[in-house]
Each structure stands twice: as structure tokens, then as C-alpha cells.
Amino acid sequence: MFMPLPLQDGFDNAGLQIGLTDAEVAGVLLCLDVTESVVDEAVASGCNLIVSHHPLIFSPLKRITGSGYVERCILKALQNGIAIYSAHTNIDNAPGGVNYRIAEKLGLKNVRILVPKEDMLYKLVVYVPQSHAEHIRETLFSAGCGEIGNYGSCSFNIDGVGTFKANEGCNPYCGNVGEIHNENEVRVETVMPAYIKNRVITALLKAHPYEEPAYDIFQLKNSWNSVGAGVIGELPVAVEELDFLKDVKEKFNVGSLRHTSPLGHKVKRVALCGGAGGSFAGAALASGADVYITGEARYHDLFNYDGKMLMAIIGHYESEQFTMDIFKEHINKAFPELKIMKTTVDTNPVQYL
Ligand SMILES: [Zn+2]
């Protein structure tokens, strides 16, 4: 599954914002931000689902009286039977998500995550009779285990002997009640994201031949290198700093590109993070980036990198504008018959003179 909700950051509120999960979708309107004009457009175009990047409901609401644009959007959506779903940091952090698309637009190669997620992986160890090892491995892989980077079906297997004594009332798959039994088993080790644990264990228990399968789950301290904030990659050919910035300005239609002082060397390694990614500039510098591009950064942050790394601020909306294309591609692939439209409303609240 692409961009599952558990990939979102702790502060976020991605997911279904408004609506019922069992409502039938007539059409989908895609946007970065939900505004009243976007809800109007959904109504006029017969789309009863809006998929946005930024969650409409981000801060908790105590009342919905129409006093601000968020409340008015909620009221309008409810009155018109429009559901709203937001995919925010879960698509920022996903492999192939927002930042991969920005990297693709810039022609970067060897793209990898800049700040990988921590504490999201488990190791699963299960002991299974040799005759069932293959079946159990396949069950675990199809439930989502064993993915490391671009590799799938990853496991490690050790032959050994399991012992057990089935007590009165047991119905053992092998061995006899009241006797200690030795069984040639395989210790199958694999990895999984923490958030699929329940699904994996349910599938494992269903597929395992024993009444009481033995398994262990360990929390890993490994970083999850294919999931996280920002990306880094290399240009095929090094280019002059200002030429690179002009290219970024053009490709992202940036009204005003702000940057730190050029360092006087060419740009080859590029780090980037769409949206408000100022806090990841340190990781970009540590990764040896020649330039770091993000949508927003604080004025004082720039002092830390001036003279050390070229840093460019291209605008929050501008940096994430291609997110709608990712939504469109994935929804279209899953539901080829479904009407999907990108909003025609310019929701960027920032204008340039
Ligand atoms: Zn954003």
C-alpha cells in the first residue's frame, strides 16, 4: 500500500476528515488545500470526495459555527454530502512521495531518504516445522514482511530442533500427548513495519500448523531507510549554482526564489524537502549536499548555513504543487473508471508583486 496513514508524523492529522467510510464515491477532486472555493468546485463538478494534501482539520475545534474558513468548509462539505480525505506527512514520508516527485522534476539520480524514520521496524522470529517453512515464509511476505529497500521476500533461516510436551487436552500437530517431542524446525527471521504487526500475526497464526506457534517480536533500533523526511540525490552533471537556481525557479514556477550566498562551486549533490523543511537543513549539510531546497525556512535558520551550503527557499505551495499528480496516478491505478479532477482553483495564499 502506498502512503499508509501510520507513516504520518506524530503531530499530523492525516486521514478521513469529514464523511462516512461506506459512502459511494461519484468523483474525486484533488487539491493541496481545502478552501471554500474548492468545496464549491467539488459541488459544481459532481465530485463528492475531496482529497487534499494539507489536512483541513489540523488543530482541534471546539465548535463549528462558521467563524473561520475551516469551519465554513466543514459546514459546506457536510451540507453538500462531500467527504474530505487528507494525505499529508504520510505522503511526505513515503517512498515515491512528494519529495521523490520534486527530485524527479529536478532530474536527480540515486535518490534516497534524507532523514530516515526511527523506531518503526520490528524483527519477527518464528519457529516452524521444516515441512511448513516455505508456506510460512510466503504467508509472512504476502502480509508485508521482508521488505528492505528495493528488495522483497527477505528472511534468514536456521535449521534446529524444537522440543515440546503436549499436556492433557492438547491436540498436537506432531508428537504424542504426555511425551516430550523433538521436531526438526526452521527459525525464520524477517522484518516488518511495526504498524502491520496485527495483520502479520493473524496471518501467521492461521498458516502455522501448531496449536501454539512460538514466535518473538523484537523492536529494532535500525533506521527505516526507505521512509522519512526529505530526499537527497545527485544531478547527472554538476552545474553552476545560479544556473541551477534559475532552473528550479522555472520548473517550480517560483514567484520569488530566496537563497543564501553562492559558494562559488558547482552543484552536484542536491537535498530537498517540500513544505516547511527548514529544520532538515542540518541533515542536508551533514549529508554533503551542495544545495538544500525547501518550501519554507525561518530567517535565522539561514544564518547557520550561509557560507557552508547553498540554501534555497522556493515557497510552500510551489514545492508541493506536484502532489496532486501523485494522488491522481495512484487513485487512477486503483480505480480506473473513477472520475478524478485536479482543482482549477489557485489556493496558494501567497502572491508576488
Ligand atoms: Zn505542506
pLDDT of res. 265: 93
pLDDT of res. 67: 93
Query: How far, in Å, from the CA of 219 to the mean position of ligand 1?
Result: 31
Cβ 51 vs Cβ 327: under 8 Å: yes
Identify the bridge partners of residue 256 per DSSP, sorted by sequence position: none
SS3 269: strand
Identify the bridge partners of residue 310 per DSSP, sorted by sequence position: 291
Query: How far, in Å, from the CA of 105 to the mean position of ligand 1?
Result: 17
Tell which residue, 129, 325, 295, 294, has the closest CA to residue 211.
129
Query: How far, in Å, from the CA of 273 to the mean position of ligand 1?
Result: 10
- Please work out, in degrees rounded to the nearest 5, the angle formed at the alpha carbon of residue 248 by the alpha carbons of 306 and 348: 100
Query: How far, in Å, from the CA of 275 to the mean position of ligand 1?
Result: 4
Query: How far, in Å, from the CA of 327 to the mean position of ligand 1?
Result: 15
Query: How far, in Å, from the CA of 88 to the mean position of ligand 1?
Result: 7
Cβ 290 vs Cβ 106: under 8 Å: no
Tell which residue, 116, 121, 54, has the closest CA to residue 91.
54
Query: How far, in Å, from the CA of 7 to the mean position of ligand 1?
Result: 15
| 111-to-195, 271, 272 alpha-carbon distances in Å | 25, 9, 11
| 20-to-12, 17, 48, 82, 328 alpha-carbon distances in Å | 21, 10, 11, 10, 21
Query: How far, in Å, from the CA of 345 to the mean position of ligand 1?
Result: 17
Tell which residue, 320, 275, 317, has the closest CA to residue 296.
275
Checking DSSP bridges between strand 310-313 and strand 258-259, what pairing results, if any? antiparallel
Query: How far, in Å, from the CA of 165 to the mean position of ligand 1?
Result: 58
Query: How far, in Å, from the CA of 267 to the mean position of ligand 1?
Result: 26
pLDDT tens string for the chain (353 positions)? 678 999 999 999 999 999 988 889 999 999 999 999 999 999 999 999 999 999 999 999 999 999 999 999 999 999 999 999 999 999 999 999 999 999 999 999 999 999 999 999 999 999 999 999 999 999 999 999 999 988 999 999 999 999 999 999 999 999 999 999 999 999 999 999 999 999 999 999 999 999 999 999 999 999 999 999 999 999 999 999 999 999 999 999 999 999 999 999 999 999 999 999 999 999 999 999 999 999 999 999 899 998 999 999 999 999 999 999 999 999 999 999 999 999 999 999 999 98
Query: How far, in Å, from the CA of 122 to the mean position of ligand 1?
Result: 29
pLDDT of res. 3: 87
Query: How far, in Å, from the CA of 296 to the mean position of ligand 1?
Result: 9
